[in-house]
C-alpha cells in the first residue's frame, strides 16, 4: 500500500503499553481518514510503530474513533505531544480479544511483522525511486500509487520538460482524471500564482492555484498541443507572470520546496522524483480513474502499470528515499530556478 501520514495530539495513555512492555498512547483522528480498520505497520515520528486503527477499543466502552500508536522504539514521554504517524502496510483486521494474554500474544506477533515490513520496505525504496527517476528523465511515465490510503487516489506522472502533446493526450485518454502541473511554491510565486484556499473542499487532494494559459502560442487552450505549450511556458526557469494569463486550461499545484520531508503528499513526491532524476522541479500529474469513472483501485492501477510496463511507487517509497539521503548527508539539491 502507499503511505498515509496522519497527525494528531495524544489525548490519553493506553493500558496496553504496560502489558506489551513498550510505551503506548492514543491519537484521535477522523474515522474516514483510513481505508480499513485493523493493524498497520507504520512509523510514529520516524520510529517503527504497530498502529491499530478502529472505532472501538479492545477493552472498555469508548466508541470514539482512535488511532492507537503502539510505539516500538521510542524513548521519552509521549503524552500531550503532537505526533505524525505514517502507515505503510496493512497487517491484520481489527478484532476483539477475550483476555489480555491473547492480546499480548497477537500484538507481539504484530511487532515482529512491523519490524520486518519496515526493514524490507526501506531496503528496496532507494532502488525503486532511482529507477523511476531515471524513467522520468528519459521521458517515460511512472505511477504514484495511493490506492489504499486517504481518498485512494493514484496519479500518472511525466516530467514537465517531457510533457509534449502526445504525453498529455495519453494522460487524458488513459488516466482520465484532471491533468495538473506540479511546481514548487517558489516557482508558483515567481509566476505570481497564489494557492487557492478560499472555499476549497476539505476532501480535495491538492490546493490548486488559479488555472493558467500560455500568453502566446495557443488557440483554444484546451487541446493537448495547447496545454503542452502552456506547461512549457510556465516551467521555464525564467518564466514570469508576463508569460501566462489567468484563467486557463492548465491547473498548477504548488508543492512545498522541501519535498516530502516538509509536506508528505503526492505533489511533493513528484517534485522529489524530478530532482532525483536531474530534472527541473515540475511534473505533469493526472488522477487515475477506472473505466466506470470512479477512482482507480489497486487492481486497476496495477493492471495499467503492468500493461504499459510502468514503474510504480508509493509516497512511502519517496519518504524512505529522502530519509536515506538525509542519513547519508546527501540531500537532494535545492531548486535553482
pLDDT tens per residue, range 21-31: 656 666 766 55
Domain, as residue range, for 104: 4-124
| Listed residues 124, 146, 166: the one ending a domain | 124
- The pLDDT assigned to 330 comes to 45
Residue 55 has pLDDT above 80, yes or no: no
Q: What's the mean pLDDT when you consider all of the chain?
A: 81
| 114, 48 Cβ separation under 8 angstroms | yes
- The pLDDT assigned to 252 comes to 96
Query: Which long-range CB contacts under 8 A does 107-112 form with residues at least 24 apart?
Result: 107/16, 107/20, 107/50, 107/70, 108/20, 110/39, 110/50, 110/70, 111/20, 111/50, 111/70, 111/72
If asked whether residues 299 and 190 sit together in one domain, one would say yes
- The pLDDT assigned to 153 comes to 87
Task: Tell me which of 158 and 40 has the higher pLDDT.
Answer: 158
If asked whether residues 31 and 156 sit together in one domain, one would say no
If asked whether residues 183 and 277 sit together in one domain, one would say yes
What total of structural domains would you count in the chain? 2
pLDDT tens per residue, range 228-255: 999 999 999 999 999 999 999 999 999 9
Residue 5 has pLDDT above 80, yes or no: no
If asked whether residues 93 and 142 sit together in one domain, one would say no
| 44, 84 Cβ separation under 8 angstroms | yes
Average pLDDT over residues 196-224: 80
Q: Partners of 4 in the beta sheet?
A: 87
> CATH no. for residue 233?
3.90.870.10
Residue 229: inside a domain: yes
- The pLDDT assigned to 121 comes to 75
Burial pattern 239-254, b for ≥16 Cβ within 10 A else e, equals beeebbbeebbbbbbb
Residue 36: inside a domain: yes
If asked whether residues 176 and 51 sit together in one domain, one would say no
Residue 79 has pLDDT above 60, yes or no: no
- The pLDDT assigned to 149 comes to 58
Separation between Cα atoms, residue 94 and residue 79, nearest integer Å: 24
- The pLDDT assigned to 264 comes to 77
- The pLDDT assigned to 140 comes to 97
Separation between Cα atoms, residue 170 and residue 178, nearest integer Å: 12
| Sign of the Cα pseudo-torsion (73, 260, 137, 278, in order) | negative
Spell out the SS3 assignment of 38-89.
EEEEEEECCEEEEEEEECCCCCCCCCCCEEEEEECCCCCCCCCCEEEEEEEE
If asked whether residues 84 and 21 sit together in one domain, one would say yes
Residue 195: inside a domain: yes
Question: Which of the four pLDDT bands, split at 50, 70 and 90, describes residue 57?
Answer: very low
Task: Tell me which of 155 and 3 has the higher pLDDT.
Answer: 155
Question: Which of the four pLDDT bands, split at 50, 70 and 90, describes residue 8?
Answer: low
Nearest 5°: the CA angle 288, 292, 293 is 45
Residue 336 has pLDDT above 50, yes or no: no
pTM score of the predicted model: 0.71
> CATH no. for residue 50?
2.40.30.30
312-313 and 142-144 beta bridge pairing: parallel
164 by Cβ neighbours in 10 Å (0-12 / 13-18 / 19+) ranks as middle
Amino acid at each position: 500500500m502507499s503511505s498515509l501520514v496522519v497527525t494528531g495530539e495524544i489525548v490519553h495513555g493506553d493500558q496496553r503499553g504496560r502489558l506489551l512492555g513498550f510505551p503506548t498512547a492514543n491519537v484521535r483522528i477522523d474515522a474516514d481518514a483510513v481505508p480499513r480498520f485493523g493493524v498497520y505497520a507504520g512509523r510514529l515520528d520516524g520510529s517503527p510503530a504497530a498502529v491499530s486503527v478502529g472505532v472501538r477499543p479492545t477493552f472498555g466502552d469508548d466508541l470514539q474513533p482512535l488511532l492507537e500508536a503502539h510505539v516500538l522504539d521510542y524513548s521519552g514521554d509521549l503524552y500531550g505531544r503532537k505526533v505524525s504517524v505514517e502507515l505503510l502496510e496493512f497487517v491484520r483486521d481489527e478484532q476483539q480479544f477475550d483476555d489480555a494474554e491473547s492480546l499480548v500474544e497477537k500484538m507481539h506477533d504484530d511487532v515482529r511483522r512491523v519490524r520486518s515490513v519496515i526493514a524490507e520496505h526501506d531496503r528496496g525504496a532507494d532502488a525503486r525511486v532511482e529507477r523511476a527517476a531515471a524513467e522520468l528523465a528519459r521521458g517515460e511515465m511512472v505511477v504514484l500509487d495511493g490506492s489504499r490510503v486517504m481518498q485512494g487516489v493514484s496519479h500518472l506522472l511525466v516530467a514537465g520538460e517531457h510533457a509534449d502533446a502526445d504525453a498529455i493526450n495519453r494522460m487524458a485518454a488513459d488516466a482520465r482524471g484532471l491533468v495538473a502541473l506540479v511546481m514548487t511554491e517558489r516557482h508558483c510565486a515567481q509566476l505570481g500564482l497564489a494557492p487557492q484556499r478560499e472555499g476549497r473542499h476539505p476532501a480535495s487532494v491538492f490546493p490548486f492555484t488559479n488555472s493558467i494559459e500560455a500568453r502566446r502560442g495557443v488557440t483554444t487552450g484546451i487541446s493537448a498541443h495547447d496545454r503542452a505549450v502552456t506547461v512549457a511556458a510556465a516551467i521555464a526557469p525564467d518564466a514570469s507572470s508576463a508569460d501566462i494569463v489567468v484563467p486557463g486550461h492548465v491547473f498548477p499545484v504548488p508543492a512545498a520546496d522541501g519535498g516530502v520531508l516538509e509536506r508528505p503528499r503526492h505533489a511533493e513526491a513528484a517534485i522529489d522524483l524530478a530532482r532525483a532524476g536531474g530534472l527541473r522541479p515540475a511534473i505533469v500529474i493526472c488522477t487515475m480513474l477506472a473505466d466506470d469513472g470512479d477512482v482507480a483501485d489497486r487492481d486497476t492501477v496495477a493492471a495499467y502499470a503492468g500493461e504499459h510496463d510502468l514503474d510504480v511507487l508509493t509516497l512511502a517509497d519517496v519518504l524512505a528515499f529522502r530519509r536515506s539521503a538525509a542519513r547519508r548527508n546527501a540531500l537532494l539539491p535545492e531548486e535553482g530556478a
